């Protein structure tokens, strides 16, 4: 390999056939004890002046030549070699002086510098990764193991994004279980009910996580009592989820205080109080309709034995565990209500719990998280110890602010330029890198950007997991005897 050109922070390097280099790989340009670390972001043919002419001549000769082809000096193979040369477009990511990272940059010599492929494991070593608490993610293209440090997710805001079916949820399961391995408490807002079987092996046996996983199904094994619910939470639900207007909300406050003073907070008492409360009929109607929405959600119960206290659940998971809130099969408004409850409850618990922190994984959060929560999640909630990972296949659903504050981005394949545009605006890495690498990532491969890789973008093939990564999936054809019958008759016909 040979240095050819430098344009801004882009280096162009000539590379001959046989030197196997791909997009995403790192190269070391070494000279006099100094070393530039560059990443290949694109590979092109080397368009040497005269090359087109040479190719055309070659083509013309091949077409007209008849009889024996004599090439006594073996010029042909040499030409072919040159014609196949590639130009590597590279970005400078870092530099080393006497083996230590430096912020200095310089222009390496075309003549004296030596360029070699850098193994991903070498790069990670240089960066001091993965540190104390490794979470094994998978492998680089050269077979190097890639792990990240669980500590680098601590206190951070992460985004996992990419097209549908590329492996986002799989990675979030891997990260969540990795955090649990180190004793973290992880809460998952599971939109599609696909995290619920993480406690089982693919064969259906209980695995080592079984006892550290609690799956809550709102309206099923997850119902709460009004007595455990603060006014703030219930008001949040009534106003934000069920759109209770201001005047009625004030009246509700009075009713609530009245019931609380009597130590009589229950759904039954609340319904009765609304019925007899002295107020405007319109207000009563407004309160009644929201009350019935609460009742019909089945989320609230007056049975203390049945009511789940999240504080107890989290206590049970202390020392490492996964709380999965299964939002599958809930209507959009019930989903929002449950999420409002869970998030506010977590904040309440964390405010009175000095040491604790929670890692929150939220799939397609725009479907159940209200607008004002976005800023909350990245400021207030983060401050209190809720560290969020957003998972989405619609990058524009997250909003600019989330991107600006994101510390780590795990990017899977996107072919849509608009999606890539959105993500690239967010990362501290140049847009060109993000676009060129991400649109060619195969499934299960992800480009890691941000703090976890110290701003050295790394492509990794995510490893498989030895747990049941699928939830209960309803398929139409799989369970139909008629399909089997049709298949066997088709195969009979064929034979």
Q: Which of 39, 158, 166, 169 binds Mg ion (CB under 5 A)?
A: 169
CA distance 60 to 75: 16
Looking only at residues 190 through 229 of this chain, which bind ligand ADP when binding is defined by CB under 6 A? Answer: none
Q: Is 465 exposed, middle or buried (0-12, 13-18, 19+ CB in 10 A)?
A: middle
CA distance 260 to 274: 14
Q: Which of 39, 147, 158, 166 binds ligand ADP (CB under 6 A)?
A: 166
Q: With respect to Mg ion, which residue has the nearer C-beta, 169 or 197?
A: 169
**Residue 168 near ligand ADP by CB under 6 A:** yes
Q: To the nearest whole angstrom, how small is the minimum distance from the Cβ of residue 80 to Mg ion?
A: 46
CA distance 270 to 217: 24
**Residue 144 near ligand ADP by CB under 6 A:** no
User: Which of Mg ion, ligand ADP, none interacts with 486 (beta carbon under 5 to 8 A by kind)?
Assistant: none
Please choose, out of 37-45, 52-60, 168-176, 266-274, the segment that lies near ligand ADP by the rule CB under 6 A. Answer: 168-176
Q: To the nearest whole angstrom, how small is the minimum distance from the Cβ of residue 9 to ligand ADP?
A: 32
CA distance 96 to 123: 11
User: Which of ligand ADP, Mg ion, none interacts with 395 (beta carbon under 5 to 8 A by kind)?
Assistant: none
The runs of H, that is alpha helices, within 277-356 are 281-297, 310-316, 332-351
**Residue 161 near Mg ion by CB under 5 A:** no
Q: Report the b/e string of 78-101 with b at 16+ CB within 10 A.
A: ebeeeeebbbbbbbbbbbbeeeee
**Residue 165 near ligand ADP by CB under 6 A:** yes
CA distance 390 to 399: 11
Q: Which of 56, 60, 107, 464 binds ligand ADP (CB under 6 A)?
A: 464
Looking only at residues 169 through 188 of this chain, which bind ligand ADP when binding is defined by CB under 6 A? Answer: 169-170
Question: Would the CA dihedral through 65, 67, 73, 78 be positive or negative?
Answer: positive
φ/ψ (deg, to 5) at 3: -70, 135
Q: With respect to ligand ADP, which residue has the nearer C-beta, 162 or 450?
A: 162
Q: Is 77 exposed, middle or buried (0-12, 13-18, 19+ CB in 10 A)?
A: exposed
- β-pairing verdict for 2-7 and 358-363: unpaired
Q: Which of 462, 467, 468, 471 binds ligand ADP (CB under 6 A)?
A: 462
Residue with nearest beta carbon to Mg ion: 169
**Residue 172 near Mg ion by CB under 5 A:** no
CA distance 251 to 244: 11
Q: With respect to ligand ADP, which residue has the nearer C-beta, 290 or 445?
A: 445
Number of residues that bind Mg ion (CB under 5 A): 1
For 392-416, the DSSP string reads ES-GGGS-HHHHHH-SEEEE-----
Q: With respect to ligand ADP, which residue has the nearer C-beta, 75 or 475?
A: 475
Q: To the nearest whole angstrom, how small is the minimum distance from the Cβ of residue 234 to Mg ion?
A: 32
β-bridge mates for residue 445, sequence order: 461
User: Which of ligand ADP, Mg ion, none interacts with 170 (beta carbon under 5 to 8 A by kind)?
Assistant: ligand ADP
Q: To the nearest whole angstrom, how small is the minimum distance from the Cβ of residue 374 to Mg ion?
A: 20
Please choose, out of 162-170, 354-362, 365-373, 401-409, the segment that lies near Mg ion by the rule CB under 5 A. Answer: 162-170
Strands (E), 105-232: 114-118, 134-139, 145-149, 158-161, 185-190, 213-216
Q: To the nearest whole angstrom, how small is the minimum distance from the Cβ of residue 168 to Mg ion?
A: 5
Q: With respect to ligand ADP, which residue has the nearer C-beta, 135 or 224?
A: 135
Footprint on this chain of Mg ion (rule: CB under 5 A): 169
Footprint on this chain of ligand ADP (rule: CB under 6 A): 162, 164-170, 444, 462-464, 469
């Amino acid at each position: 390999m040979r240095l050819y050109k430098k344009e801004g922070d882009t280096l162009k390097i000539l590379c001959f056939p046989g030197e196997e280099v791909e997009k995403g790989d790192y190269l070391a340009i070494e000279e006099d004890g100094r070393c530039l670390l560059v990443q290949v972001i694109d590979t092109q043919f080397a368009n040497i002046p005269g090359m087109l002419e040479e190719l055309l001549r070659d083509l013309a000769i091949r077409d007209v030549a008849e009889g024996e082809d004599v090439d006594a000096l073996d010029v042909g193979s040499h030409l072919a070699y040159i014609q196949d040369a590639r130009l590597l477009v590279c970005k400078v990511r870092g530099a080393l002086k006497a083996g230590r990272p430096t912020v200095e940059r310089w222009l390496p010599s075309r003549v004296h510098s030596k360029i070699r492929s850098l193994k991903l494991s070498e790069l990670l070593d240089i960066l001091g990764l993965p540190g104390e608490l490794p979470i094994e993610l998978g492998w680089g293209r050269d077979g190097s193991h890639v792990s990240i440090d669980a500590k680098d997710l601590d206190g951070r805001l992460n985004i996992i994004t990419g097209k549908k079916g590329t492996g986002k949820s799989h990675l979030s399961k891997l990260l969540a279980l990795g955090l649990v391995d180190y004793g973290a408490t992880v809460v998952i807002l599971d939109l599609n009910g696909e995290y619920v079987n993480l406690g089982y092996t693919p064969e259906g046996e209980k695995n080592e996580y079984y006892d550290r996983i609690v799956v809550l199904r709102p309206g099923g094994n997850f119902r709460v009592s009004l007595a455990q619910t603060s006014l703030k939470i219930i008001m949040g639900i009534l106003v934000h989820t069920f759109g209770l207007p201001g005047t009625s909300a004030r009246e509700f406050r009075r009713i609530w205080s009245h019931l609380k003073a009597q130590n009589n907070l229950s759904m039954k008492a609340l319904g009765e109080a609304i019925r007899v409360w002295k107020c405007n009929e319109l207000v009563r109607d407004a309160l009644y309709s929201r009350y019935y929405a609460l009742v019909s959600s089945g989320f609230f119960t007056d049975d203390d034995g049945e009511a789940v206290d999240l504080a107890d659940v989290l206590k049970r998971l202390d020392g490492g565990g996964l709380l999965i809130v299964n939002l599958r099969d809930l209507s959009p408004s019930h989903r929002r209500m449950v999420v409002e409850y869970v998030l506010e409850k977590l904040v309440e618990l964390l405010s009175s719990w000095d040491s604790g922190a929670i890692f929150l994984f939220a799939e397609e959060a725009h479907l159940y998280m209200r607008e004002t929560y976005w800023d909350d999640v990245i400021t207030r909630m983060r401050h209190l110890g809720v560290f969020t990972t957003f998972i989405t296949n619609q990058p524009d659903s997250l909003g600019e602010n989330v991107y600006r504050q994101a510390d780590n981005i795990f990017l899977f394949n996107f072919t849509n330029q608009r999606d890539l545009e959105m993500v690239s605006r967010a990362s501290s890495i140049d847009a060109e890198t993000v676009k060129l690498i991400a649109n060619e990532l195969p499934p299960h491969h992800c480009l890691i950007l941000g703090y976890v890789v110290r701003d050295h973008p790394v492509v990794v093939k995510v490893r498989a997991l030895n747990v049941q990564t699928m939830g209960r999936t309803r398929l139409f054809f799989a369970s139909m005897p008629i399909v089997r019958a049709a298949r066997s008759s088709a195969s009979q016909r064929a034979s």
